[in-house]
Amino acid sequence: MSHRKTTPPTTNARILIVDDHPAVREGLALRIKSQPNLEVCGEAADVPEALHLVAEAKPDVAVIDIALRNGNGLDLIKRIKAHDDRVRMLVWSMYSESLFAERALRAGALGYINKEHATDQIITAIRCVLEGRVYLSEPLTGQLLGRLVSGGDAAKRSPITTLSDRELEVFRLIGNGLDTQAIAEKLCVSPKTVETYRARIKEKLNLTGSVDLLRCALQWVIEKQ
């Protein structure tokens, strides 16, 4: 008895959008839906919702913002990677690539795109990571290659690069005006844990007190926007 092989039907690539702004999700969803061979399989505003949709909707690509309603995109990338390494991830954020892009790649993402460039390039970036290729801007690619050639040259790098991903998230939230209690609630940790992060940040950045920490964080957030 012979068995005739059948060609499976062509299916659209499934895209999950993770962003805490409904209007931003809606705009990106409309753009994706207008493209051939792409479809939106879900939208999420926070980490638990995103993890649920990864398990239920089985996306091919997850487009993830750094700042989420509770938690952050870097933690989400790590958790998705541990749960299902088949999902390819692209970070899009209002923050500059200069610090977050390299962290995103280390966490497990395949690309990083700034929201200022998303209108023209987001679909190109999605298709790039869908194919398993890394997507970064040309300037950042040049910076990373230059750093590789020079052996990293840690002396020329900002002290902020020494912060861990969670310390950087706390630093960012301080710069956004959140106090210890608010940061603890947002990150689902205790205020004591946040105070420990604050102490580590001050030590790494050589800051003498809370006022200096707040001033430094505020300035950093302004510069990165």
- For residues 58 and 116, what is the distance between their CA atoms, to the nearest angstrom? 28
Residue 9, pLDDT above cutoff 90: no
Angle at 92 between CA 90 and CA 98, to 5 degrees: 100
pLDDT at 150: 57
Q: What is the mean pLDDT of residues 108-134?
A: 88
Which residue carries 């020079």 as its tokens? 150
Residue 153, pLDDT above cutoff 60: no
Residues 6+ apart with CB under 8 A from 61: 13, 14, 15, 16, 87, 88, 89, 90, 126, 129, 130
pLDDT at 8: 45
Q: What is the mean pLDDT of residues 166-172?
A: 91
User: Which domains, and CATH codes, for the chain?
Assistant: 13-146 (3.40.50.2300), 158-224 (1.10.10.10)
pLDDT at 117: 65
pTM (2 d.p.): 0.78
Residue 149, pLDDT above cutoff 80: no
Q: What is the pLDDT of residues 52-75, one digit of tens each?
A: 999 999 999 999 999 888 788 999
The pLDDT-based confidence of 90 (bands split at 50, 70, 90) is: very high
Task: Give yes or no for a contact between 83 and 55, defined as CB atoms under 8 angstroms apart.
Answer: yes
DSSP string, 41-69: EEEESSHHHHHHHHHHH--SEEEE-SB-S
Share of the chain above pLDDT 70, in %: 84
Helix (H, G, I), strand (E, B) or coil at 72: strand
The pLDDT-based confidence of 170 (bands split at 50, 70, 90) is: very high
CA atoms within 13 A on the CB side of 24: 19
Higher pLDDT: 62 or 94? It is: 62
Residue 152, pLDDT above cutoff 80: no
Q: How many CB atoms lie within 10 A of CB 66?
A: 22
pLDDT at 5: 47
